[in-house]
Amino acid sequence: MIKYYIEGLVLGFTYVAPIGVQNLYVINSAISNKRIMALRTALVTVFFDVSLAITCYYGIGIVLSKSQILKEIILMAGAVVVIYMGCQLIKDTPNSLGKVNGDKSFFKLVLACFTVTWLNPQAIIDGSLMLGGFKASIPDTYSKLFILGVCSASFVWFTCLALIINYFKKNFSVKLVGIINKICGVIIIYYGLKLGINFIKGLGVL
C-alpha cells in the first residue's frame, strides 16, 4: 500500500533533515563550489546515506537488538567520537568558503562522503535502532515500499539542499559559515551527550 511508502518518506525526512555532519558537508560544498560540484557531492552523499539506511534496515538493527553488550559498546564509542566531532566544528573557523571541498578529486570526495556517513556513530546508532525497529513492525509484503520511501527522502533532501544553498550562496559569508559550523557543533555535542547518558543508563547507574 502507498501509505507505507509515504510513512517511509516522512520518516526519511525526519531522519536526514536535522543539521548534522552530512548536512554541514553538503552545505559547505554548495557554498564553496560550482553547481555541478555541489550536486555531485550531494549525490555521492545520497549513495552512502541510502546504503547505510538499507544496511540498518535489514541488518544492523537486528544485531543490535539481540546484543546488549554490542549496543553498549557502540553507545560508549559513539558518545566519545560524536562529542569530539562537535568540539572540532566549534573550534574550527573557516578562513575561506573553499575550505571544505576546494579542488578535491573524485576519490577524495567519495572518501569524505563515506566518512561523514559511515564513520558517523550517531547515524549508525540512530539508523539501526529506528529503522531496525520499524522493520520489525511492518508486514513483509510492504517492507520494500517503506525503505524505498526512506531512500527517496534522502535523495530529495540532499539534492534540494545542495541546489538551494548553491543558488543563494552569494548571500553567504565566511562568518556565516563559521556560525553554521558552531551551531552544528553544539547540536552534535548535544546528541553525543544523549548517547553518553544512554550508555550510563544501560549500566544501571542512572
The residue length of the chain stands at: 206
| Closest-CA residue to 79 (of 200, 203, 162, 206) | 200
pLDDT, block means (10 residues), the chain with 206 residues: 88 76 82 87 95 85 67 72 74 59 70 79 71 74 91 96 88 73 75 77 68
Say what the pTM is.
Answer: 0.68
Query: DSSP letter at 58?
Result: I
